[in-house]
Each structure stands twice: as C-alpha cells, then as structure tokens.
Chain A
Amino acid sequence: MIEIKDLHKSYHMGSNTLHVLKGINFNVKEGELVSIMGSSGSGKSTLLNILGMLDEADTGDYTLDGFAIKNLNEKIAANYRNKFLGFIFQSFNLINYKSALDNVAMPLYYQGMKRKERVEKAAHYLEKVGLADWSHHLPNEMSGGQKQRVAIARALASEPKVLLADEPTGALDTKTSYEVMDLIQGINEEGKTILIVTHEPDIAQMTKRIVNLKDGLIINDTKVEQVRAISNV
C-alpha cells in the first residue's frame, strides 16, 4: 500500500540546515496497523506529514497504492488527500462552528457529494463511532474522547485507503485513550490500513507493528503481539 525509498527531508532555517529524515526505507501492506515511535525531533511527524502529502520530501520515492507521489501541485495533492487519506490529529482539529455531523461530512463536501447523500453517510459513520445521538452538537459541547471519535468518523467518511493518526491519544486521559484505541483496532480489523505516530509505548503495543525512529533513521522495525485495548479499559 505504501512504499517509501530513500526518503530525505531537511529544513532550512536561515543559514542552518536541519536534516530531519536521512534516508527512510519503509513499506506498509494493506490492512496493517503500524505505530511510528521515536523521541521528539526524531522525524516521525515529518514522516507522517510527507505520507499525508501535507509536506514534500526533498528526494526519494513515495508510492501510495500504485500512485507515485511526486511534484504534485496543490490541487492534485488536495484531491489525493481527499480520496486516499484520512487524518486524525492530536488536537482533533474539528471546525468549531460546525456540528459533529457537518464536521464528518466535510471531506464528502470537498468530494462534491450531494447534501442528502453526505448527511446519510456522515450519520452512518457517527453511529459507527457511537455518537449517533450527538450529531447536532457543536465540538465545544463534547468531551475530548467524543471529539476524537468525531475526528475518526470524519477521517473514515471519505473511505480512504489509509488512516494517518498523529498522536491520536496525546490529549486524552488513559481510559479515553484506550477507548479510542479500541475503536481504531476495530476499524483496522475491518481491513483499513492505519499508521499511528505516538511516543507512548502502551499505545504502540496496541498496534501490530512498531517502527522506531531515531535522528531521521529507522533503527528498529518489529512486528509485535497486539494488546487488545478493551482489556485495559
């Protein structure tokens, strides 16, 4: 599903150059649940951003489901993001003045889907994350866990090939974190490919494979015995 070859990325800050990714080689097959770990500054977020086409690599190849991702203009990148990827952020990034339902329907709006279909589909995904009764509430009327569920529903709504989660439990307490992870595990079991960036070992243990990043290089890439989140709730 994802193939990455010799990926380099550096940032220029004035006269200093910060080499963040120093040649990443990395493949993800369909249906995998991968966590990317590493201390801050290890380049894990940069990697995720490049995977998410929010940022561009300097050199190296990136293929997503057979499509070469290179030199995309913003319009095509936006299109690919919309079709192929679902994002889950640490700070949820819901739009405050839109109801849960409208938030979930947003990617569908950008797909050009008709309102009626959109609402039906969004309602379906809200139900899937267990928030059917909250569809007309605004984000600030919800708890953190609920907001992240709305965000997950939003990421799922466009039926992407890959879910990218950047510290999805970073702003949640342990119990809520595990509930969210349970939901993510469930989605993965249905066959969705999911990448999670995290620095929490217990969260990483709930995935099927852990990739460890240090100073812009993968130092460790192992399959792990998945811990069921539900057993810890």
Chain B
Amino acid sequence: MFSKDRWDEILEALSANKFRTLLTAFGVFWGITILVLLLALTNGLRNGVTADFGNFATNSMFMWTQQTSISYKGLPKGRFFNYKLGDVEALKAEIPELKYVSPRLQLGGYSGDNNVTRGMKTGAFQVNGDYPEFIKQQPMDITSGRFISYSDIHAKRKTCVIGVDVVKGLYDKEEDPLGTYIKISGVNFMVVGTFKASNSQGDQEEDANTIFVPFTSFGQAFNSGDNVGWMAITGHDGKSITDLKPKIFEIIKARHKIHPDDNRAIGNFDLSEAFGRVNGLFSILGFVGYFVGALVLMSGIIGISNIMLIVVKERTKEIGVRRALGATPWTIKSQILQESLILTISSGMVGISFAAGVIWLMNYILDHSGPVDNFANPSVGMSVVFTALFILVVSGLLAGLIPANSATKMKPVDALRID
C-alpha cells in the first residue's frame, strides 16, 4: 500500500499548492500543540501541588490532643489530656489494618528559642522523638550514617539524626558530624546520621531544621514519661485511612474518658483525604485539558476536511482523467485518505515536537529562576503522546473520509466534462 510511487504521488499532490497545504497543516499543528501544552500545564500544577505533600505516605493521618469540649463521666469540659504509649499499642492491637502507628514527642521549634548547642555554636531546631518506622511514612534521604533504630529505642540510647540545616548551623564546613555530640536542652546526644528532605517543597526549611532522636530516649531525657504528643498513623495499602479514622477515635475516646460525640478533643489532619481532594481536582483538570484540547484539535481537523473537499473539487477533472486511465475508485479514495492522513500526522508530529520544545523551555526557565509555588516540572508522559497520535490518525481518516467519498461519487464522464 505504501510504495514509493504512492509517496511520490501524494507528495506531488500536496506540494502542488504549498502555501495552502501549510496553512491547512497549521490548524492541526496548533490544535495538537494546545492539547499537549494544556495537559503538560495540568501536570505541572499537579506536580507542584502534590510536591507539597512531599513523599509522605498519603494513606496517613496525624493526630494530636486538644481540649475536651463536652464534660463526661464526671470530668469537666476544657480538660487537657495526653496520649500514652499504651494507646499506640492498643491501636496496633485492635486495628490490624493499620500499617504504622508512630508516636512522637516534640521539643522546641525551628523558629523558637535556641535549644541546641555544640561548643560555641547554638541553634533553634525542631526536636522529634520518633520510632524507626517514621522514615517509612515520610521518606527522607539519609545522606550519611543511619536513621534511628530499634536497638536505640530499646537501649534508650541518646543518639540523633540531624537535618542539613542543623549541620550547617552547628558545624564548620569540612567537619564530619558523625560520632560528635550535640547538646539538646542540656542533654548530650550523639549524631549517628544526617538526612535531607526528599523533594518536598513547602516544608523544606522546617524539615531541614529537624533533629530526630529515639522516642524512648526523648521520654527519659526530657521527663515526659510515657506521654505521646503526636501520632502519625498509616493504613495498609487498599485500606483507606479515612474509613479507619472513626474506629481509631472510638478507641482513643474510650481510653481517655472522652464523650463519644466530642469531636474537638482529638485534633487530626487526614492526609489521604486532602490528597484525594487534590487528586480529584487534577483528574477533572486533566479531563478539561483533554476536552478543550480535543475541541481545538477538532477545528484543525475540520480545516483539513474542508481543504480536502476543495482539493477534491478542484481536481474533479484530474480525478476523471485518472479514472479514464484506469484508476479504480478505491485507488482514488485511498489516495485522498492518505493525503489527509499524511497531512494530519505530519503536522501533528510537528505540533507535538513544538509543544515538547515549549515544555522544555518552561522547565529550563523554572530550573534557572527557581521554583514557583504550586507549579513544577510540566510534562506529558509517552501515553499522552500516543493518545495524541491515535487521535491524529483517527481524525486524519475522518477528515479524509467525506472528501474521498465525494471524489468518486461522480461518474467519470461527468468529471471529465468539468472545466
């Protein structure tokens, strides 16, 4: 079907009126460019916003304590309470769908008073008492050494893992922090590892200013007993944390004598729900991108169909001559179809390449002028390119169909009579 002669025929016909062919091709070129760019921009927005979630396991929730708001079992409202280590064990035992329940104790804040010193240097850092599995909930890059381990937990070792900005604040340039000691609120901890937040955007500064110490060591060093300040809870894959939430609250409320209807006592943030909302939004945006892009592309395709109709009309006599010389209707039809296909696909390819160039340029500018809020790495996957190509092939055929049919509708004798 695609012999060299066929190609020559088609290229000859297309180049017989170069300017018109170019103008026609531009419609499809523009359509596919818009389609790809829209999808890339949607992706950029999605990447930007989801980067705010960092690498955090998204099927997670965070839980802290607030004041109770309903008096219950003789206890007044407005009461403060603390989670206990026992709560963690109870949750793990009673809800097997939970993958991780990480308790945490916190000290200070990176914007607060200086709480960490090393020799002459001091700094204000966030200090977290954590369990080893926390790194699975919020992945981070361990740049040297290791993260806290269970043997640290059991032995209540005073070890710590420090963020990059902590290293910057407390150490000279060529110093190796591993094995050195820093003083956190007057207690010495040995540095066993350093970490870097992996590609999160908004909270980067806070992350980099954080020190992780074993949960048990924290409790012992800062006299918090078996209190738990904060919990990060992750569900198993396929078990939505949002669905498990009521059960978690029920257990906690029972253990702390909180009224079952007291929803303000337990502060929480459901990452999965927030993530799902954002994802839903972007699914819709992606759909809008496809929809609008396809509509723009369609006007390009109508342009091609239109011009092919004119071409067929203009070449009525030529088609008559060709048929007199022995061209079968199918030969004529397939030539028109192929002309429109080639026109559509080649202009579409140029469109995709052009869009890719624009996307590259956007990325280049983003890389060089620093990150922009809520926008990162606009890109389209190969699947989008293939979808676009598929749309092009189908539309090229559609665009050629009507003209091809009208080309052979006329009897050759009538076609020859036209001037």
Instruction: Tell me whether B413 and A107 are in contact (CB under 8 A).
Output: no
Question: Cα distance A111–B328 when bound, in Å?
Answer: 11
Selected contact of A93 from candidates B317, B327, B413, CB within 8 Å? B317
Question: Cα distance A52–B171 when bound, in Å?
Answer: 98
Instruction: Tell me whether B331 and A110 are in contact (CB under 8 A).
Output: yes
B12 contacts the other chain (Cβ, under 8 Å)?
A: yes
Which residues of B have CB within 8 Å of A26? none
Which residues of A have CB within 8 Å of B5? 109, 115
Contacts A55-B411, A93-B416 given; does A78 touch B318 at CB 8 Å: no
B266-303 contact mask (Cβ, 8 Å, vs A): 1 or 0:
00000000000000000000000000000000000000
Question: Cα distance A111–B321 when bound, in Å?
Answer: 15
A87 contacts the other chain (Cβ, under 8 Å)?
A: yes
Instruction: Tell me whether A106 and B412 are in contact (CB under 8 A).
Output: no
Main secondary structure of the interface of B (DSSP, over half): helix
Which residues of B have CB within 8 Å of A97? 12-13, 16
Instruction: Tell me whether A95 and B328 are in contact (CB under 8 A).
Output: no
Question: Cα distance A158–B326 when bound, in Å?
Answer: 10
Selected contact of A78 from candidates B317, B321, B329, B411, CB within 8 Å? B329
Question: How distant is B330 from chain A, measured CB to nearest CB, in Å?
Answer: 7
Contacts A95-B321, A106-B322 given; does A74 touch B12 at CB 8 Å: no
Question: Cα distance A95–B16 when bound, in Å?
Answer: 11
Contacts A75-B330, A110-B331, A115-B4 given; does A82 touch B325 at CB 8 Å: yes
Which residues of B have CB within 8 Å of A107? 325-326
Selected contact of A74 from candidates B4, B13, B325, B329, CB within 8 Å? B329
B401-419 contact mask (Cβ, 8 Å, vs A): 1 or 0:
0000000100111001001
B324 contacts the other chain (Cβ, under 8 Å)?
A: yes
Question: Cα distance A73–B356 when bound, in Å?
Answer: 49
Which residues of B have CB within 8 Å of A109? 5, 9
Selected contact of A81 from candidates B9, B318, B324, B329, CB within 8 Å? B324
Instruction: Tell me whether B328 and A54 are in contact (CB under 8 A).
Output: no
Determine which residue in A87, A98, A109 has the highest number of CB atoms from chain B within 10 A of its CB, and name it. A109
Instruction: Tell me whether B12 and A81 are in contact (CB under 8 A).
Output: no
Question: How distant is A75 from chain B, measured CB to nearest CB, in Å?
Answer: 5
Instruction: Tell me whether B416 and A89 are in contact (CB under 8 A).
Output: yes
Which residues of A have CB within 8 Å of B331? 78, 110
Which residues of B have CB within 8 Å of A91? 419
Instruction: Tell me whether A110 and B325 are in contact (CB under 8 A).
Output: yes
B196 contacts the other chain (Cβ, under 8 Å)?
A: no
With A78-B326, A115-B4 known, 19 other A-B pairs at CB within 8 A are A54-B412, A54-B416, A74-B408, A75-B328, A75-B329, A75-B330, A78-B331, A83-B326, A87-B325, A89-B416, A93-B320, A93-B321, A95-B321, A97-B13, A109-B9, A110-B322, A110-B326, A154-B325, A158-B326
Query: What are the 10 A-B residue pairs with the smallest beta carbon separation, nearest first?
Result: A82-B326, A110-B326, A54-B413, A78-B328, A55-B413, A97-B16, A93-B321, A107-B325, A54-B412, A75-B328
Contacts from A to B (Cβ < 8 Å): 49, 52, 54-55, 74-75, 78-79, 81-83, 87, 89, 91, 93, 95-98, 106-107, 109-111, 115, 154, 158
